[in-house]
Structure 1
Amino acid sequence: MKLMNSVKSVVLGTIAATVLAGTALAADVTIRIGHLNPADPTESHSGAMTAVFKSLVETASNGEIEVKLFPNGQLGKDNEVIQQVRDGIVESSISSAGGVAQHYPLVGVFDIPFAFPNIYVSDKVMSLESDFGKKFAADMDAKTGLHTLAILDSGGFFAFTNSKRPIKTVEDMDGLRIRTMTLPTHQAMVNSLGAQATPLPWAEVYTALQTGVADGEMNPIPIIAFAKFDEVQKYLSITNHVITPYVWFMNGEFYEGLKPEHKAIVDWASEVATNAGRGISRIIEASDKGLPKLAEKMEINAVSPAEAEKFAAIAQPAVRKLIEEKFGAEGTDMLNALMADIDKYK
C-alpha cells in the first residue's frame, strides 16, 4: 500500500509539474495560417505543409511559438485571406495563383501553356532558390509588403474535366464553359481554344459544376480528387497544359519583428514543410487517391503529343500577347526571366 501511495504521489507530482511547466512555457508568439484545402496532411499539399510546419516550429521553439491552422477556407476567400495577412489580422496564408493575382497580377507569367516540360523543371523554377524565383519573390514582396516563405506548384500539371465529352483535340473544346480562376491569363488561354472561360472563386466551383453553370474546370489531379469533382464531372482529359504556383506568405512586419532565433526556425521549418507539400502531391498522383480513384467514376483520356502541340500553337501566343499588352515591359522582362530559367533546367 505504501508503494502504491508513493507511486501515486510521484505520478501526481509529475502531472502538476507538467501543467506548471506548460503554463511557464506559454507561447509568446502566435502564427495563424489560413489556406483553402483540407486539413488532412494526406489529402492536400497545404494540409501537409501546415501540419509539418506546426510540428517543427512548436517543437523547435520549445513552445515559445504557437501555430494555429485554419484550413478549408475558414477565414474566407483566397484573396480575402491574403488581405488579412497584409493587414496583420492573421500572420500567414498559403494561397493559389487566383488569390495572389488580385494582389500581385504578375503571377500570371506562369501561365504560358506547355512552357514546363516536366515536374522536375517546374520544381527547380518554382523555388526561392532559382534565379527566377528570387527575382519574382523580391518584386512581389516589394509591391505587397508581404514576405514570401515559399513558392511551389499547386498540386501538379492541370487537366481538364467536363460533363459533356472527352477532350482529345482542340475542336473538342468548342463551346465548353470552363471554370477558371480569376486570372486573365487563364481566361485568355481557355477562350483562345474555343471554349468559354467562366471565372469563379473556389468556394463556388463544385456547385457551379453540379448545376451546370459551368460545364467543366481545370486543376491538378490531387485537387480534382479531394474536391470530389468526380461526383459532378464525367470526363477527365490529361493535357498537362499548365502548372500554376501556390505562394506561402507571411506578414512582412511580423516576420521582420521575430527574434533572430524564431526567424531561423520559421525559415527552416517552412522549407522542410514545402518539400513535404511537393512530396504529398506526387504521392497523391501516384496512389489510389489520385487517378485510380477518379477512374472509378470518370472516363479518362490522355491528349496525344501531336495534339498537345496544336493546343500550344494556339494558346501560347494568346497568353504571351496578353502578358505583353497588360504588363508592358515589366511583364515581358518577368516572362523572359521565367523562360530563361525553364531553358536552364530543361
Structure 2
Amino acid sequence: MKARVTTTLSGLGLALGISTAAMAAETTMRIAHVNPPETMASNAGALSAVFKQLVETASNGDIEVTIYPAGQLGKDAEAIAQVRQGIIESSISTAGGVAEHYPRIGVFDIPFAFPNIGVASEVISLESEFGQMLAEDIHEETGLKVLGLLDSGGFFQFTNSQRPITSPEDMDGLRIRTMTLPTHEAMINSMGSQATPLAWAEVYTALQTGVADGQMNPIQQTAFAKFDEVQDYLTISNHLITPYVWFINQDFYDGLPEEHQRIIDWASEVAVDAGRAMSRIIEASDQGLPRLAESMEVNTITPEQREIFAASAQPAVRRVIEETYGEEGVALLEAMLSSIEEANAAQQ
C-alpha cells in the first residue's frame, strides 16, 4: 500500500509562494533539504551546491536550480510529499522522512551489518545492484525517481552522560533517545537500555535535563547539534548507517528534453560523490570528531564486543522487520545483506 501523502499548510503555502519567482526561468528545479545551507557544513549542502553549479553551467542557464535548505519547505516527510505532488521538483531526505512514504527503508536499521564505511559506500549507491533494486522498489511504491543514494553523514555513534560504553553491560539502564522508529526502539531495548523516542527538536533539552541519558547519531549531527555541551562520553560503535535518498519528480524528469536529462543524470552522480566526500571531511575536521574529542571522552568498541552487541540486537530488529514489512521487507533485507557480504569479500 502506498503511503498517504500529506503536506502541512505552512509548507504548502511557502512552496506555492516561490512559484512566481520560478516562472522567469525556462526550467527551474527546486531542491529541498533540512541540512545547513553552507557548502562546507553538510553533505546535502555540498551535494546541492555542486549539482547547481554543474547543471546551470552545462545547460548554459536553461535550467535554474534553486535550493531550499534548513527545512525552509518543511520537514523531510513534508518535502517528499511536495515532490510527489509536483509542488517542488526534488528533495534530499533522511531515512526517517523517507519511512513515512516508503516504510521498507527500515531494513537499513539492522544493527552492526556494515563492517566499514568503504563497504557502506559501495552498497548505498545507485551503482550497486542492491541500490538499483532499492530505487526500483521505491519508484514502484511512491512514483518518485531516485536521483542518488548516499549515507546520511556516516555511522551512528553513541553518546551519553553516565559512563563509557565498552560492552553490552555498560548499556544497562541507560535511557537512549531514538527516532520514533520501531526498529530503533527494538535495538536499544534489546541491548538492555531504555529506548526514549523524542522529536529532534526536543533532544538537546532532554539530554540537558536528564530526561534522556544519551543519544545516537553520526559524528557531524552530534557536533552540529552541540551535544558535547550536555554529554560526556562518545563511543565509536559504528552500529548503524542510514541513507540519504535524493528524489526527483518523475513527471518533471520525463518532461525534460533528453539533453537536459543527460545533464541531470551525470551532474547528480558527481554531486553524490561530492556529498559523500564532504561527510568524511567533516568527520575528520574541526567540525567533527577532533572537536568533540576536546570536550568528551572517546572510546571505540572492539571487534569482539561488536559481535556480542550484534548477537543480541540483530535478532530483535530482524523480528520487527519481519513483522512490520512482511515478505517484501525480508527479501529487501536479504538482498542488502548479500550486497554487504559481496562488497566486504571484495575488500579482502
Tell me the amino acid that sits aligned with residue 216 of structure 1: G
* Aligned equivalent of 1:144, options 139, 142, 145: 142
CA distance in 1, matches of 2:315, 2:269: 35
Residue of structure 1 equivalent to 2:242? 244
Q: CA RMSD in A?
A: 1.6
CA distance in 2, matches of 1:226, 1:45: 12
Residue of structure 1 equivalent to 2:318? 320
Unaligned runs of at least 5 residues, structure 2: 1-23
* Aligned equivalent of 2:279, options 278, 281, 298: 281
Residue of structure 1 equivalent to 2:101? 103
Residue of structure 2 equivalent to 1:182? 180
Tell me the amino acid that sits aligned with residue 239 of structure 2: H
Residue of structure 2 equivalent to 1:129? 127
State the Cα deviation string for residues 79-107 of structure 1 (Å, max 9, x = none). 11111111112211111111111111110
Partner SS state of residue 283, structure 2: helix
* Aligned equivalent of 1:191, options 186, 189, 192: 189
Partner SS state of residue 137, structure 1: helix
How do 1:150-165 residues align onto structure 2 when only pairs under 5 Å count?
A: 150-165=148-163
Residue of structure 1 equivalent to 2:203? 205
How do 1:217-256 residues align onto structure 2 when only pairs under 5 Å count?
A: 217-256=215-254
Partner SS state of residue 241, structure 1: strand
Q: Does 1:120 align with 2:118?
A: yes
How far did 1:215 drift? 2.2
Tell me the amino acid that sits aligned with residue 189 of structure 1: M
How far did 1:68 drift? 1.3
Partner SS state of residue 179, structure 1: strand
Tell me the amino acid that sits aligned with residue 301 of structure 1: N
Partner SS state of residue 50, structure 2: helix
How do 1:10-25 residues align onto structure 2 when only pairs under 5 Å count?
A: none
State the Cα deviation string for residues 56-99 of structure 1 (Å, max 9, x = none). 11111111111111111222221111111111122111111111
CA distance in 2, matches of 1:246, 1:315: 23
CA distance in 2, matches of 1:146, 1:204: 31
How far did 1:326 drift? 1.4
CA 209–81 in structure 1, closer or farther in 2 if over 3 Å, else same:
farther
How far did 1:254 drift? 1.4
* Aligned equivalent of 1:90, options 76, 88, 95: 88
CA 57–113 in structure 1, closer or farther in 2 if over 3 Å, else same:
same
CA 288–312 in structure 1, closer or farther in 2 if over 3 Å, else same:
same
How far did 1:199 drift? 2.5
State the Cα deviation string for residues 103-133 of structure 1 (Å, max 9, x = none). 1111011121111111111111101111111
How far did 1:208 drift? 3.1
Residue of structure 2 equivalent to 1:13? none
State the Cα deviation string for residues 247-284 of structure 1 (Å, max 9, x = none). 01111211222221111111111111100011111112
Deviates most, 189-198 or 310-319: 189-198
Unaligned runs of at least 5 residues, structure 1: 1-25
State the Cα deviation string for residues 110-164 of structure 1 (Å, max 9, x = none). 1211111111111111011111111111011111111101111111111001222
% same residue: 67
In the superposition, the TM-score normalised over structure 1's length comes to: 0.89
Tell me the amino acid that sits aligned with residue 137 of structure 1: A
Q: How many residues align?
A: 322
Deviates most, 224-233 or 292-301: 224-233
In the superposition, the TM-score normalised over structure 2's length comes to: 0.89
Q: Does 1:336 align with 2:334?
A: yes
Q: Is the 8 A contact 1:44 1:226 kept in 2?
A: no
Deviates most, 79-88 or 136-145: 79-88
How far did 1:55 drift? 0.8
